[in-house]
Chain A
Amino acid sequence: MKEDPGYFDYWPYENRPKIEWPNGAKVAFWVAPNIEFYELNPPANAQRTPWPTPTPSLPGYTVRDWGNRVGHIRQMELLEKYGIRGSISLSTALCDHHPEIIELCKERNWEFFSHGIYNTRYTYGMSEDQERGMIRDSMETIYKHTGQKCAGYLAPALSHSDNTLDLFAEVGTELFGDEGGIYTCDLFHDDQPTPIHLRSKKRFVSIPYSLEMNDTIAYVVNKIEPRRYGQQIKENFDRLYAEGAESGTIMCIPTHNYQVSYPHRMKAFEEALDYITGHDDVWVTTGREIAEFFLDNYYDASVADISSKQRTA
């Protein structure tokens, strides 16, 4: 085990090279709906127990099933109303279980990225080959069902190994060259993209996927009220929009169709989306588009700037 994963160097949030998003936007805004499949009877993992009560653990299982049966369409139609294409963090087994959802998202030109195969299969304890195989399976599944060359990764249930980001980037290159495996959502250290150190030296970037704005964190961990969540989203946006005048920022709302889509929560979410998209200088986009734009325009300058700020003792 390491003291520090070594993915990124310290890079102060002042005096960075200025990022200018397309059309002078101050904020790159993206919504990342997690579309997940949790198994009723998943296999045991020594380091993490999938369900808090003996199977069948209905409260957790049935709420997540609700998300796919009821919640997905509500969220999808709401995002569509505000001109937002989702960047889906996908349990890729869902392509087999619920292809109707995949079709609906394909029709809307949404992005699909890998969130593992099932959200009840953890990376913990996998050998490097096993994890590589799981990641490859998930990326091939996305390609087979959507034709998309998976660009991004969020580890299943945020379960990682020391190799996760390296393996994802390497499998992406093997399968899709420079188009596959170019960004990660697993790191929460910044409000702007960060070049990530990988053993392969691949050009690879961390795209902010805010845990603080994540509906599950808000509703299940922090247990906040729907309208306070809506207010937090607006305030998060306000500050990033203001700072984006100096250098472009990123705002992400990670969602779950079994959280934000409940009838008692939709109103607050809609008000927040209406507020954000009502501003002129917002680039409403996807994870892949942000990653590609950064890699094409700012990656090299960022690497140089970071390097210049590593003072030796």
Chain B
Amino acid sequence: MALDKSYFDYPHRSYGMDHDRYDWSMLSDRKQVQWPEGKKLALWVNVPLQFFPLNQKGEPFKVPGGMTMPYPDLRHFSLRQYGNRVGIYRFLKAFDQYGVKPTFAMNTRLAETNPYLLHRIVERGDEISCHGYHMDAIHWNGLGKDAENELIKKSLDSLRKLTGQDIKGWLSPAKNESDDTPDLLAANGIEYFSDWVNDDMPYQFRTSNGELTAMPLTTETEDHFVINGNKHSEDAWVEQVCDAADFLRKEADTQGGRILALNIHPWLLGQPHRIAKLEKALEYITHIDGVWPAYAGEIRDNWMSQQ
């Protein structure tokens, strides 16, 4: 018994990362950032507006939150649509009540098929980013580079046309990528993306078409991750995001501006028994001294201007 000797080759065992997408650095060693008007903690509330197709292919895996039952899985299809019909309107009220500036990560297919919701979001003037074509359009190496480029181009062209916004931000379905995704995003006019959850602050990411900014949209305090994945109570979610806000706010006193990123789903926290928990968290967080509610693109641009 033995493994092939190549198992003991370590081709990337040298300084920095085992790929060339970005430079290795510790957050604590980087230049400190100052947010506008002396603010300390940027609040980035990111709201995925999602379409989960009933005829899900599930390649290369079933998207988290997607269909799990034999076709037709009406249960999950309709429960996800609940978010776009009902939950989102509870969200909008809460955002306006607490002065939150939401960034909507929208599946292009949802924008194409839900003109009322699209119009409502566009009319508000909040930032819209692209969340891929739909939740079953997962970016992975099996697509092939040309097909993936077509998918990205279609997603962006259509969303730009429908929203009238020059879409600069991207969030891949399931935060999944192929090896080419960042190169193709940059080639299609994207400036920042949020798939790599390896930092608490933005950083520059190399592509074959110039740099992207990687924006830190942590998964760890997502409603879906905490409440559905970890099976924690809604109150525990509130406790965790408030603890995170306190910690980051305090760290900002000595280490420069920080970002609290909350990725929250209308089909989950928009339920009648959960919306008050979101409101409770927003009330606490927006009353912390030095909080700066901002769009993702705004945070990114401000950060870039200081680099």
Q: Which residues of A contact B (CB under 8 A)?
A: 37, 39-41, 43, 45, 53-56, 58-59, 61-63, 65-66, 68-70, 72-73, 93, 96-101, 117-118, 121, 125-127, 129-130, 133-134, 219, 223-227, 262-268
B244 touching A70, Cβ below 8 Å: no
B246: A residues at CB distance < 8 A: 267
Q: How many residues of B contact A (CB 8 A)?
A: 59
B197: A residues at CB distance < 8 A: 58-59, 62-63, 66
Question: B6 — nearest CB in chain A belongs to which residue?
Answer: A43
Top 10 A-B pairs ranked by shortest CB distance? A127-B2, A263-B244, A65-B198, A264-B244, A264-B240, A62-B198, A263-B247, A223-B230, A73-B28, A66-B198
B29 touching A100, Cβ below 8 Å: yes
Distance of A267 Cα from B199 Cα, bound (Å): 19
The 17 sampled A-B contact pairs (Cβ below 8 Å) are: A43-B7, A54-B141, A54-B142, A66-B198, A97-B15, A97-B24, A117-B13, A118-B10, A126-B1, A127-B1, A130-B2, A130-B7, A130-B8, A225-B236, A263-B200, A263-B244, A263-B245
A56 touching B177, Cβ below 8 Å: yes
Tell whether A264 pairs with B247 under 8 Å between CB atoms, given A62-B198, A69-B26, A72-B26: yes
Distance of A263 Cα from B230 Cα, bound (Å): 17
Distance of A58 Cα from B3 Cα, bound (Å): 27
One digit per residue, 1 when the CB lies within 8 angstroms of any chain A CB and 0 when it does not, for chain B 166-199 equals 0000000001111100000000000000011111
How many Å from the CB of A50 to the closest CB on chain B? Answer: 12
How many Å from the CB of B178 to the closest CB on chain A? Answer: 8
How many Å from the CB of B20 to the closest CB on chain A? Answer: 11
A54: B residues at CB distance < 8 A: 60, 140-142
How many Å from the CB of A37 to the closest CB on chain B? Answer: 8
Q: Is B229 an interface residue (CB 8 A)?
A: yes
B60 touching A53, Cβ below 8 Å: yes
- Main secondary structure on B side of the interface with A: loop
A39: B residues at CB distance < 8 A: 12, 18
Q: Is B25 an interface residue (CB 8 A)?
A: yes
Q: Which of A55, A70, A134 has the most CB of B within 10 A?
A: A70
Distance of A41 Cα from B24 Cα, bound (Å): 17
How many Å from the CB of B131 to the closest CB on chain A? Answer: 15
How many Å from the CB of B200 to the closest CB on chain A? Answer: 5
A97 touching B244, Cβ below 8 Å: no
> Looking at the complex, which one of A58, A70, A130, A133 makes contact with B175 (CB distance below 8 Å)?
A58
Question: A61 — nearest CB in chain B belongs to which residue?
Answer: B198
Tell whether A225 pairs with B176 under 8 Å between CB atoms, given A96-B15, A130-B2: no
Distance of A53 Cα from B142 Cα, bound (Å): 12
A66 touching B2, Cβ below 8 Å: no
How many Å from the CB of B264 to the closest CB on chain A? Answer: 14
B243 touching A223, Cβ below 8 Å: no
> Looking at the complex, which one of A68, A69, A133 makes contact with B8 (CB distance below 8 Å)?
A133
Distance of A236 Cα from B278 Cα, bound (Å): 33
One digit per residue, 1 when the CB lies within 8 angstroms of any chain A CB and 0 when it does not, for chain B 223-253 equals 0000001111100100111011111100100
Known A63-B220, A223-B232, A265-B240; 19 more pairs at CB < 8 Å? A37-B18, A53-B61, A53-B176, A56-B179, A59-B175, A62-B195, A65-B198, A66-B199, A70-B26, A73-B28, A97-B13, A97-B24, A117-B13, A130-B8, A219-B230, A226-B239, A226-B243, A263-B245, A263-B251
Distance of A100 Cα from B8 Cα, bound (Å): 25
Q: Is B288 an interface residue (CB 8 A)?
A: no
B220: A residues at CB distance < 8 A: 63, 262, 264
B3 touching A69, Cβ below 8 Å: no
A63 touching B3, Cβ below 8 Å: no
How many Å from the CB of A185 to the closest CB on chain B? Answer: 24
Distance of A230 Cα from B25 Cα, bound (Å): 30
A127: B residues at CB distance < 8 A: 1-3
Question: A137 — nearest CB in chain B belongs to which residue?
Answer: B8
B243 touching A263, Cβ below 8 Å: yes
> Looking at the complex, which one of A70, A72, A96 makes contact with B13 (CB distance below 8 Å)?
A96
A98 touching B3, Cβ below 8 Å: no
Distance of A117 Cα from B177 Cα, bound (Å): 27
How many Å from the CB of B237 to the closest CB on chain A? Answer: 9
Question: A73 — nearest CB in chain B belongs to which residue?
Answer: B28
Distance of A61 Cα from B196 Cα, bound (Å): 9
A63 touching B198, Cβ below 8 Å: yes
Distance of A17 Cα from B17 Cα, bound (Å): 50
Distance of A69 Cα from B28 Cα, bound (Å): 8
B231 touching A223, Cβ below 8 Å: yes
Q: Which of B19, B25, B239, B243 has the most CB of A within 10 A?
A: B243
A97 touching B1, Cβ below 8 Å: no
How many Å from the CB of A105 to the closest CB on chain B? Answer: 13
Distance of A266 Cα from B240 Cα, bound (Å): 10
A265: B residues at CB distance < 8 A: 240, 243
Distance of A59 Cα from B241 Cα, bound (Å): 20
B177: A residues at CB distance < 8 A: 56, 58
A96 touching B241, Cβ below 8 Å: no
